[in-house]
Amino acid sequence: MKLLVVGSGGREHALLWALKREQPDAVLLAAPGNAGTALVATNLPIPADQIPDLVDAAVRERVDLVIIGPEGPLALGLADRLRGRGIPTFGPSGAAARIEASKAWSKEVMVAAGVPTAASRTFATLAPALAYIDSHPEPLVVKASGLAAGKGAVVCATRAEAASAARAMLDTRIFGDAGDEVVVEAFLEGEELSVLALTNGTEVAILPPAQDHKRLQEGDRGPNTGGMGAYSPVALDTAALRAMVTTRVLEPTLAEMARRGAPFSGVLYAGLMVDRSGNPSVVEFNCRFGDPETQVILPRIASGLVDALGACARGSRLPEVTIDPSAAVTTVLAARGYPDQPERGAEITIPDDLPDGALVFHAGTRRDEAGILRAAGGRVLAVTGVGATFAAAQTISRAAAERITFDGKQFRRDIGWREAARR
């Protein structure tokens, strides 16, 4: 079996690691991959947004299944183009990827489907947006509708801040076309939970939920990032919550998308806010695996991943995915200057005697001409600890994160603090 994973982050390294673990004899390809994916797969030097080149490579290599990691190529229609050439592909069509790529459309779908989410309005021009903000209770949230690399949502304590965020998006156009439309929404109180579900379009299989840490600094301070760490399982996750998420969030969303001519298959990621009574609202949908959530979810899948991804790709019945009861915690090591202007090029040293249960997933790394491992992106590595308990996993992840070195390394020592506080 030959599998191609598109993308170059920690999520893609974790996917390839999990595929290899389950199918040691499979031939694995990554495009473009990183220095970590090169340890388990052959990297093809094709950027993830080069759609025709990716399709040609998949055809030439006679790939049995393509798994698309990032939202960018999904929104550009990579899955449609691959399926058009007869290649089974895990990931939604370009039309269905709008559930992430257009927050305005995603809100329309949620409202039509009766899915709980913050009350919102969408604007394409500044004056009505400012008028709406002027009458909105504080705090409030202003979001660029399009893809903005995780930077498009601004939580505003005051109407004045919200007005300047709307102006920056609609007038100064800081996010370019991604800010053609702006969503203004109510602030939701609660605790966030990432619920990822595999779906073949009709059936859904919820994977072990995870909690991300979006802020750069310990104590959830500092700017929003792509995610500085994650853990799974999360005690917030109960059978009652899963049932609610399935019947009130996932199933109605999939049905409404199909009704609109954009049926979804792949992994639907519901970013939830869970309130004090345990009721979930959707903060956002993503059309792909989360990063760094994947680095804690996949190590907990004991079997069935490859078959499940294939079933989603082919639209066939979902097989059972079995979950390991162990806990996983991942700590992201980021470069100096992340998230604004990450420095590249620092030499990375990974000791060979990291604690048992430590998994090092590469995100922004490359090997230079001399074979030296160097930082090549904002998030450099994700260091996952797997252990019998949350505390054990947290200790392993943190200890390994301490011992890996590169100049400018930034990381949080408090990943999982909410879980630790609950216990």
Q: How far apart are CA 322 and CA 328, in angstroms?
A: 16
Are 223 and 212 spatial neighbours (Cβ–Cβ below 8 Å)?
Answer: no
Of 57, 110, 118, 166, the one binding ligand AMP by CB under 6 A? 118
Chain position whose Cβ is nearest to ligand AMP:
153
330: which strand partners?
230, 384
CB of 48 within 8 A of CB of 6? yes
Name the token pair of 203.
């059936």
Binding track over 117-156 against ligand GLY, x by CB under 6 A: ---------------------------------x------
> Does 12 participate in binding ligand GLY (rule CB under 6 A)?
no
Q: Which stretch binds ligand AMP (CB under 6 A): 183-191, 238-246, 381-389, 407-415?
A: 183-191
What is the total count of residues that contact ligand AMP (CB under 6 A)? 15
| Rounded CA separation 364/27 (Å) | 23
C-alpha span between 87 and 418 (Å, rounded): 43
What is the residue type of 151? K
- What is the rounded CA–CA span in Å between residue 418 and residue 213? 10
- Site for ligand AMP contains 174 (CB under 6 A): no
Residue from the set 209, 290, 387, 416 that interacts with ligand GLY by CB under 6 A: 290
Among 100, 237, 256, 284, binds ligand AMP (CB under 6 A): 284
7 binds ligand GLY (CB under 6 A): no
Read off φ and ψ for residue 73, nearest 5 degrees.
-65, -30
Told to check if 212 binds ligand GLY by CB under 6 A, we report yes
106 binds ligand GLY (CB under 6 A): no
Instruction: Sketch the per residue contact string, 141 through 170, with ligand AMP: x for CB under 6 A, - otherwise.
Output: x-x--------xx-x---------------
Please state the closest distance from residue 140 (CB atom) to ligand AMP, in A: 8
For residue 291, give the DSSP letter: T
Does 237 participate in binding ligand AMP (rule CB under 6 A)? no
Which one of residues 73, 227, 271, 280 is an interface residue with ligand AMP (CB under 6 A)?
Answer: 271
Beta bridge partners of 121: 184
Nearest distance from C-beta of residue 184 to ligand AMP, angstroms: 10
Listed ranges 61-69, 184-192, 288-296, 361-369: which one lies at the site for ligand AMP (CB under 6 A): 184-192
Give the integer Cα–Cα distance in Å for 79 and 158.
Answer: 41
Residue 100 interacts with ligand GLY (CB under 6 A)? no
The pair of three-digit structure tokens given for residue 217, joined into one six-digit string? 């600094």
391 φ, ψ (degrees, to nearest 5): -60, -40
Q: Give strand pairing partners of 327.
A: 387
Q: Which stretch binds ligand GLY (CB under 6 A): 106-114, 283-291, 340-348, 370-378?
A: 283-291
Inter-CA distances, 73 with 13, 267, 298, Å: 17, 15, 22
Sheet of 266-274: strand order equals 204-206, 191-199, 266-274, 280-286
C-beta of 70 vs 387, nearer to ligand GLY = 70
187 vs 417, beta carbon nearer ligand AMP = 187
Coil/strand/helix, residue 56: helix
Q: According to DSSP H, which parts of 23-158 are helical? A: 51-60, 71-75, 78-84, 98-101, 103-113, 126-134
Q: Is 192 in the site for ligand AMP (CB under 6 A)?
A: yes
- Residue 283's binding partner, choosing from ligand GLY, ligand AMP, none, with beta-carbon cut-off 5 to 8 A by kind? ligand AMP
Residue numbers of the site for ligand AMP (CB under 6 A)? 118, 141, 143, 152-153, 155, 185, 187-188, 192, 214, 224, 271, 283-284
